A = this chain, B = another copy of it.
């Protein structure tokens, strides 16, 4: 067999050649170099597909994300990829735009054994249909998760985070606290709105105002803020579900000659590094973005190893960071 020839040529065991081919860690750089040189010298073409067919393991994970240009998503995906790579797995990326038709094309890869498992970051409203397509395959819901679904999840407590946001703005003396929310097909958006409304009720603040951004881009935050500011009773504070939306909201406030935070307090969500360097620096709810990704992979690999492992619904901590914008 050819792999033995490569091993002899490199002066290593066939197991070591196999480790290099599989991209596992724990092979010393010098050894890896020698094996790669031997592969080139022997013109060895490992047929990975044939091997996957033999072992019925592809060592590939499918990641369904609504849109990678949302910086929250790209940071979670970075965590997913880093952890996957550390375990010798690769990731297939699907931007679904939350369209199940796009997702269905990808999910045939699962039934076709091209991928060993799936991590979804997609809207909860799609989950019942996705669930049907995924069947009994290993699956983790990441960042966006419905605990009532079968299928483990790693999320934050979105309801609690939104309550913290409202409580913070109320403590700063705000009475008309508005919310710029995301697409209400998302469970996170539903949960954050529910937390927002229950906090207002608890604090005896009767005024409420919710506008929805149709995408996580600053233009959508700008448009939502415009609707709020041009209403009969404009808000004196706004809680947005993304730092990206907050950038648009702050820009809109400035165009309306409002000073932040005196005339309008602004609070973001996610804790993107640049939120600290805006003018004024943006208060925000900091999510553990990288960790949401790494933890999802750890749970998925456990599930691939043991398909009968019990379902878990983990909630990672989320922290309010108060800065000059509120």
Contact = CB atoms under 8 A, between A and B. Distances in A.
A248 interface: yes
A149 interface: no
Contacts of A254: 279
A312 interface: no
A193 interface: no
Nearest to A105: B23
Interface of A is mostly: helix
Given A32-B104, A90-B92, A222-B277, A78 B68 contact: yes
Contacts of A164: none
A201 interface: no
Interface stretch (A41-49, A172-180, A229-237, A301-309): A41-49
A316 interface: no
A109 interface: yes
Interface stretch (A2-10, A110-118, A150-158, A202-210): A110-118
A48 B247 contact: no
Copies in the complex: 2
A117 B211 CA distance: 44
A275 to B, nearest CB: 9
Closest 9 CB pairs of A and B: A23-B105, A48-B112, A251-B277, A218-B274, A74-B74, A93-B93, A279-B279, A247-B274, A49-B53
Interface of A: 20-23, 29, 32, 36, 39-40, 45-53, 58, 60, 67-69, 71, 74-75, 77-78, 81-82, 85, 90-95, 101-102, 104-106, 108-109, 111-114, 132-133, 217-219, 222, 244, 247-248, 250-251, 254, 273-274, 276-279
Given A46-B112, A49-B58, A85-B94, 20 more contacts: A21-B108, A23-B104, A32-B101, A32-B104, A40-B132, A45-B111, A45-B112, A45-B113, A47-B113, A49-B52, A50-B53, A53-B53, A74-B74, A81-B94, A81-B95, A85-B105, A91-B93, A92-B92, A218-B277, A250-B279
